[in-house]
């Protein structure tokens, strides 16, 4: 491999000759060979949006000459078009605060701008990563801004549509199953009848509630600390820079981002991301519970509940022929477990931040964006490959309903709780139906019994 030699405050560094990144990125690559996992591309895109907005704002403020600024903007456009994606190479686990990520972006944009101006990579007299690409900025205000932008776009463009799709799929099943009467269950024991449609209506409502929560927290992400530079005071940024930069961000994203009045608050704590992490955990808990319920309802198919049939997507056993498992629901469970665990790691990372800056933001960024991504994909898959194809096992539903002892609850206003309990217990011990026991005990006439014990009337 051919190399070029770059110099920084620590000395000389060998950088691959064809790389657009520079010495600081190379040092990060050499020092942090930890996981092989790279930062989300959505964060890189958002960071480049910030850099492009900064270049335009700096040119307008007279802080960056138009020749360099135009080259930086063109380099940003190329990255946003999907080019140079292999040049963003830092590991997730790296130096604190995201400086490696910021410098990786700065160096790639600087070197691409240099080549656009017919210079050679590494000749930072033409375009400098810090002096020009990073003008009016610090990692400490741009990283939180890029993280909030990337999370907002990922939520509004991906996760919320996925959740709404699941809510719609569950509502369709609620309508489809609206007349299917079944045994309700509390404490995993038989309870009074309900319709399968009512059960799925409940699931749809739970998902709808998480959509509302996600929409609320997403609005908090619009408040950016851009222009705070190192500690929130705005040192080295012109007065017009922040307003000009956020104006460009709004134009590029089509979203109503704005500069916070309290940059110290956002840079120290970034509680909007903490709130988002909590909502992602809530979504996971709710979705996992629904997946668990479907697995219970499809259990068997002959020695379990077996009231619904989930779509068969692949063979379920390497030894038992013909076995089919609730694979999509199991996948969703595992994704939800992962997100719940990542949320706890994020909590600890937030708690461990000190004074004017949280140095653990690279981990927070990875956990949050990874969680959004896998939840989006898992929920879309769950909707299309599981929920949409659910069918009922009418024979099992009717068999369970016939033997349901909780229907005696409908008699209690007429005969009292104690007598109704005695009827249920007698039916359980003798194996008789409720109706047979009631007739034996002569509690009321057959016609009244038929009316009161009718499960359709009870729902």
Name the region of 227 (left: φ>0; alpha: ψ -120 to 50; beta: rest).
left
Query: 265-282 burial, b if ≥16 CB within 10 A, otherwise e?
Result: ebbbebebbbbbbebbbb
DSSP string covering 197-241, please?
A: HHHHHHHHHHHHHHHHHHHHHHHHTTEE-TT-TTTSS-TT--TTH
- For residue 133, the surrounding DSSP H or E stretch is none
| Annotated active-site residue in 120, 187, 240, 433 | 187
- Closest by alpha carbon to 445, among 402, 409, 404, 414? 414
Task: Quote the tokens at residue 80.
Answer: 């946003």
- In whole angstroms, what is the distance from residue 120 CA to residue 117 CA? 9
Which residues are paired to 38 by β-bridges?
91
CB neighbours of 260 closer than 8 A, spacing ≥ 6?
223, 224, 225, 266
Known catalytic residue: 187? yes
CB neighbours of 218 closer than 8 A, spacing ≥ 6?
152, 155, 156, 160, 276
| Annotated active-site residue in 35, 85, 219, 317 | 317
- Closest by alpha carbon to 342, among 246, 426, 273, 287? 273
Number of C-beta neighbours around residue 189 at 10 A: 10
What are the phi and psi torsion angles at 423 (to 5°)? Answer: -65, -45
Q: What torsion do the CA atoms of 291, 296, 298, 299 make, to the nearest 10 degrees?
A: 130
Strands 258-259 and 223-224: parallel
Known catalytic residue: 174? no
- The residue written with tokens 């068969």 in the block is 312
Q: DSSP letter at 21?
A: S
Burial class (CB in 10 A: 0-12, 13-18, 19+), 354: exposed
Task: Quote the tokens at residue 438.
Answer: 């009631």
DSSP-based three-state secondary structure for 92? coil
CB 411 within 8 A of CB 438: yes
Point out the residues that are catalytic.
Answer: 187, 317
């Amino acid at each position: 491999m051919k190399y070029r030699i770059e110099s920084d405050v620590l000395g000389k560094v060998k950088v691959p000759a064809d790389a657009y990144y520079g010495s600081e990125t190379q040092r990060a690559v050499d020092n942090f060979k930890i996981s092989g996992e790279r930062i989300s591309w959505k964060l890189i895109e958002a960071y480049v949006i910030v850099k492009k907005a900064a270049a335009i704002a700096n040119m307008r403020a007279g802080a960056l000459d138009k020749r360099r600024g135009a080259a930086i903007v063109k380099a940003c456009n190329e990255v946003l078009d999907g080019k140079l994606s292999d040049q963003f190479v830092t590991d997730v686990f790296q130096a604190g605060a995201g400086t490696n990520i910021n410098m990786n972006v700065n160096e790639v944009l600087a070197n691409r701008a240099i080549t656009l101006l017919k210079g050679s990579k590494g000749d930072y007299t033409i375009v400098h990563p810090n002096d020009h690409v990073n003008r009016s900025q610090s990692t400490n205000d741009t990283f939180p801004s890029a993280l909030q932008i990337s999370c907002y776009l990922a939520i509004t463009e991906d996760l919320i549509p996925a959740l709404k799709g699941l809510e719609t799929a569950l509502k369709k099943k609620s309508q489809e199953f609206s007349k299917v009467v079944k045994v309700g269950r509390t404490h995993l024991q038989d309870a009074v009848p309900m319709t399968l449609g009512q059960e799925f209506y409940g699931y749809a409502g739970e998902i709808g509630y998480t959509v509302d929560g996600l929409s609320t927290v997403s609005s908090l992400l619009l408040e950016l600390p851009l222009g705070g530079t190192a500690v929130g005071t705005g040192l080295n940024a012109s007065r017009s820079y922040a307003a000009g930069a956020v104006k460009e961000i709004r134009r590029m994203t089509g979203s109503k981002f704005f500069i916070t009045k309290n940059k110290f608050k956002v840079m120290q704590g970034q509680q909007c991301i903490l709130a988002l992490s909590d909502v992602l955990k809530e979504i996971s808990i709710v979705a996992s519970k629904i997946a668990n319920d479907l697995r219970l309802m499809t259990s068997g198919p002959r020695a379990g509940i077996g009231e619904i049939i989930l779509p068969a997507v692949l063979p379920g056993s390497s030894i038992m022929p013909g076995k089919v498992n609730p694979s999509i629901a199991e996948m969703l469970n595992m994704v939800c477990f992962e997100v719940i665990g990542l949320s706890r790691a994020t909590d600890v990372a937030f708690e461990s931040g000190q004074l004017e800056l949280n140095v653990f933001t690279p981990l927070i960024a990875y956990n949050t964006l990874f969680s959004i991504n896998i939840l989006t994909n898992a929920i879309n898959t769950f909707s299309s490959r599981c929920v949409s194809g659910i069918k009922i096992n009418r024979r099992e539903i009717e068999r369970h309903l016939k033997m349901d002892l909780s229907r005696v609850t409908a008699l209690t206003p007429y005969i009292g709780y104690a007598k109704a309990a005695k009827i249920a217990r007698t039916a359980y011990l003798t194996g008789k139906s409720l109706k047979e026991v009631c007739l034996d005990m002569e509690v009321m006439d057959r016609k009244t019994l038929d009316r009161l014990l009718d499960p359709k009337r009870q729902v």
